[in-house]
Structure 1
Amino acid sequence: MDKFNFVKDGAIKLPPGFRFQPTDEEIVFQYLIRKTFSCPLPASIIPEINICKHDPWDLPGDMEQDRYFFSNKEAKYRNGNRANRATLGGYWKPTGLDKQITCSKRKPILGMKKTLVFYKGKSQNASRTDWIMHEYRLVLPKNPPSNFKNPSQSSLVQIGNWVLCHIFLKKRNGKCDQEILEAGDENCYKASEHVQIAKPILYYDFMRGDLAASSCSSSLSNDDSSEVSSSPTTLVDQHEEATNRPL
């Protein structure tokens, strides 16, 4: 039995101040692999639910937060391997290429991460939404010794029937999730062309007598030995006039 259980009413309930933000490697090799082989989980924090039975906005939990679910992969046809991705109000459509997740301690087992976008409505008249799902699954190469480094999709066999789904609502702030960009979302690429990167703000340090760089979004670490190599001439002239001006 798991030591900690944070699932209540089909949703994650964490104490105030705690956030569940696992990495791809932790999702695959700490949670999904344990679930697949019926081993104790680090914590009962991911509920079980059939993703295809619910639209993303009807799933348990806070829609403004990232949500994680264990789900059984459901076949679309009885005698086929194609997964069923249809829900009551739409369907999940894969986008881009699957991402391979590896762990040196877990060879030859691999994790595969698929990115999907939710479309509302029927296939022909469906409209794209901002709902994103990352689906993780365990796979094993058919010939591990020779095909482990760069196995093709056709040479991979899924282990078990469990998948782990990370579902979230993409924020409309003009920026795109980096993983969605890597997956090949064309609309995100177009939006990212209009995003301007803020330049560092230069200020004059009167205690040290030199110019330093400051940024509202980031700061230099203690190990960063980079220096400001150039500065606007107008700023230098203004600072020289300020320092030479009599008090």
Structure 2
Amino acid sequence: MERGVTSVVRLPPGFRFHPTDEELVVQYLKRKVFSCPLPASIIPDVILARFDPWDLPGGCEEERYFFSLKEAKYPNGNRSNRAARSGYWKATGKDKAIKSPAAGVGQVVGMKKVLVFYRGKPPAGAKTDWVMHEYRLAEPGSRACLFPQRKNSTHSCAMPTGDWVLCRIFKKKRATDTDAEAEGDEAVANHKGMMRFIDFMGERDRDGRHHLPAAACASNSSCLTELSDGCSSSSSGGEESSSRKLPLG
């Protein structure tokens, strides 16, 4: 087993671990911070600075979840160390607030930060397809950080035990050429299914003007027909019709 990671509990075939943001914060991260029993011991502890995302335990084609202690970049600063073995994680966009109805209306229980992995050293690193969602608890003074004590409980859940975060790491999938061709073929098939062929030649009257077949106009409400002897039809009130029909011939 590599240094910096605890053992991973593998799920039986057919089982998948797909928790919501709220479940990750309330049921897993909060319990981890306060050293309370977890619903299942399937999220290992990892020192992310020792790994590149493709070297982390688990399958590279799946989402992977890890607990990690935040490491300060500078001794007297609040910025986190985002370095890894051969690159670094760079935050993108704004943090998203995670709310839980169980904690109260509009109560924020945690925050989610999105980061992208870059190879090399900042600021000249090369962007990759690896993405991390980093979850942290709400501010320490928030009610969401208070863990309720149960009567006759043998576990102490009163004080946080560390500045833990929960990380979801995955590789963003790109569309392959085969996928693009399949989507293109499907679009062409759908387009052909909607096409209707209309004989625009139709028949000519004595003046040499075209008439569209009645069936064609019945199947296409947007087709144009000619005016009646150069005059527009009028309503019973003497007002000119709002939709004029243009000659085709």
Q: TM-score range by the shorter chain?
A: 0.5 to 0.7
Residues 18 and 97 of structure 1: CA distance in aligned 2, closer, same or farther (over 3 Å): same
Residue 129 of structure 1 aligns to a residue in which SS?
Answer: strand
Residues 128 and 104 of structure 1: CA distance in aligned 2, closer, same or farther (over 3 Å): same
Residue in 2 that maps onto 1:168: 170
Counterpart Cα distance in 2 of 1:63 and 1:25: 24
1:71 and 2:68 are equivalent in the alignment: yes
Structure 2: give runs of 5+ residues left out of the alignment.
144-159, 177-182, 199-214, 217-249
Residue in 2 that maps onto 1:110: 109
1:28-177, aligned counterparts within 5 Å? 28-107=25-104, 108=107, 110-140=109-139, 160-173=162-175
Q: Deviations over 1:25-77 (max 9, x none)?
A: 11111111111111111100101111122111111111111100000011111
TM-score calculated relative to the size of structure 2: 0.60
Give the aligned residue type for 1:76: K
8 A contact 2:73–2:79 mirrored in 1: yes
Residues 199 and 73 of structure 1: CA distance in aligned 2, closer, same or farther (over 3 Å): farther
8 A contact 1:10–1:61 mirrored in 2: no
Counterpart Cα distance in 1 of 2:189 and 2:98: 35
The Cα RMSD (Å) is: 3.5
Indicate the percent of aligned positions where both proteins have the same amino acid. 55
Residues 9 and 48 of structure 1: CA distance in aligned 2, closer, same or farther (over 3 Å): closer
8 A contact 2:68–2:165 mirrored in 1: yes
Give the aligned residue type for 1:31: Y
Deviation at 1:118, TM superposition (A): 0.3
Counterpart Cα distance in 2 of 1:126 and 1:198: 38
8 A contact 1:98–1:112 mirrored in 2: yes
Please identify which structure carries the higher strand content. 1
Residue 131 of structure 2 aligns to a residue in which SS?
Answer: strand
TM-score calculated relative to the size of structure 1: 0.60
Counterpart Cα distance in 1 of 2:6 and 2:69: 19
Counterpart Cα distance in 2 of 1:37 and 1:95: 29
Query: Which structure has the larger Rg?
Result: 2
Residue in 2 that maps onto 1:190: none
Q: Deviations over 1:122-165 (max 9, x none)?
A: 11431000000000000137587xxxxxxxxxxxxx99501000
